[in-house]
Structure 1
């Protein structure tokens, strides 16, 4: 798996990442969701440079022109619920894409720090021969992406897989390199070095799902 980190070069994305991390700005859920959506758009633009293109002919009011158009058959698959604003950012740019949604959440069976990632819901078109974009804003241990990849296998084999995330850990990324095909690629805004004892990214930003939509009750 290849890795493309957005913040290796300074850009306006720095501002959106800083606001996502800031404990005071995080209190504004609307801004938090919007910043994830914005980063989804930026990552979509960068990703679009690696899609396949064919020239198409267009008539303007004053003449004719050939413009390369993306030919990739895209499916955007987001991991609920934190993936929804990132999904929207990708969809803003890839508006012709098909859409897939899947649940993956941390289940604490003994009500302690130990957890397992469960997948309980999926709605997806066929993935056979298509370009799959897997979207989840937080890449901590990598277990969610790995379990989702396994759950999607009955839907067919994609020709290409792109993972899209906002913040990840070095540990999680190394884990995924052992699981995803070598020609897959991770597009991520920034990478942090550590995970805490509960499997959260440090410094990270906290629980993206709760910050987007409010706290949830585990059952």
Structure 2
């Protein structure tokens, strides 16, 4: 898997990631969601450079302009619920894309062990298309791998891109081992470790709760 780590180079994206982490800023839910959305737009732009383009022409009032336009059929798949602002950022740029939504959440077996459960899936055919899997947090990588398995009934994509905001090194390595070799990961920041509960350190906390409010446990 090719890993594209955005913050390996300095850019304005670092400011948005810093604000997502900052406990003095992140409780502003509107700003938190917008920063995820903005990072989704930046990652979409970087991802777009690797798509297939073909010659095209556009007629303006004063003549014809020759250009190159993307040719791939894109499907954006968000992992609910934290993936929604990231989905919006990606869709702002890939505005003709089809859309898939899937629920994947941690079901705890005890204080530290959990399994990923999928209870909802709505998707078009993925056969031969370019699939973008979006989840803002890549902790253990188990959610991405479970979602990939659930999507197999929808067809085989020609290309898979994973998009995340913050990941942990062990999770990045786990998805690299369990996704097709030609898959690509687009991620803003990579932290080095997980704690005993499988959360990214330093990370930012629970992205879903920070986006939409604290959920009741079930």
Local SS of the residue matching 1:118: strand
**CA distance, structure 2, for counterparts of residue 164 and residue 184 of structure 1:** 11
**CA distance, structure 1, for counterparts of residue 28 and residue 209 of structure 2:** 12
State the Cα distance separating 1:117 from its structure 2 match: 1.1
Could you tell me which runs of 5 or more consecutive residues in structure 1 were left unpaired when the two chains were aligned. none
Task: Count residues in correspondence.
Answer: 218
Give the match for residue 75 of structure 1: 75
**CA distance, structure 1, for counterparts of residue 9 and residue 192 of structure 2:** 18
**CA distance, structure 1, for counterparts of residue 217 and residue 169 of structure 2:** 28
**CA distance, structure 2, for counterparts of residue 209 and residue 203 of structure 1:** 17
Once the two structures are superposed, residues 4-43 of structure 1 have per-residue CA deviations (whole angstroms, 9 ceiling, x without a partner) of: 0000000000100000000010110000000000000000
Matches within 5 A, 1:63-212: 63-110=63-110, 112-212=111-211
Once the two structures are superposed, residues 72-127 of structure 1 have per-residue CA deviations (whole angstroms, 9 ceiling, x without a partner) of: 100000000000000000000000000000000011144x2221111110000000
Give the match for residue 2 of structure 1: 2
Could you tell me which runs of 5 or more consecutive residues in structure 2 were left unpaired when the two chains were aligned. none
Once the two structures are superposed, residues 148-168 of structure 1 have per-residue CA deviations (whole angstroms, 9 ceiling, x without a partner) of: 000000000000000000000
Once the two structures are superposed, residues 51-85 of structure 1 have per-residue CA deviations (whole angstroms, 9 ceiling, x without a partner) of: 00111111111111111110010000000000000
**CA distance, structure 1, for counterparts of residue 140 and residue 147 of structure 2:** 13
State the Cα distance separating 1:218 from its structure 2 match: 2.1
**CA distance, structure 1, for counterparts of residue 52 and residue 139 of structure 2:** 31
TM-score (normalised: structure 1): 0.98
Local SS of the residue matching 1:54: strand
Local SS of the residue matching 1:126: coil
**CA distance, structure 2, for counterparts of residue 117 and residue 193 of structure 1:** 22
**CA distance, structure 2, for counterparts of residue 64 and residue 115 of structure 1:** 58
1:48 aligns with 2:48: yes
1:12 aligns with 2:20: no
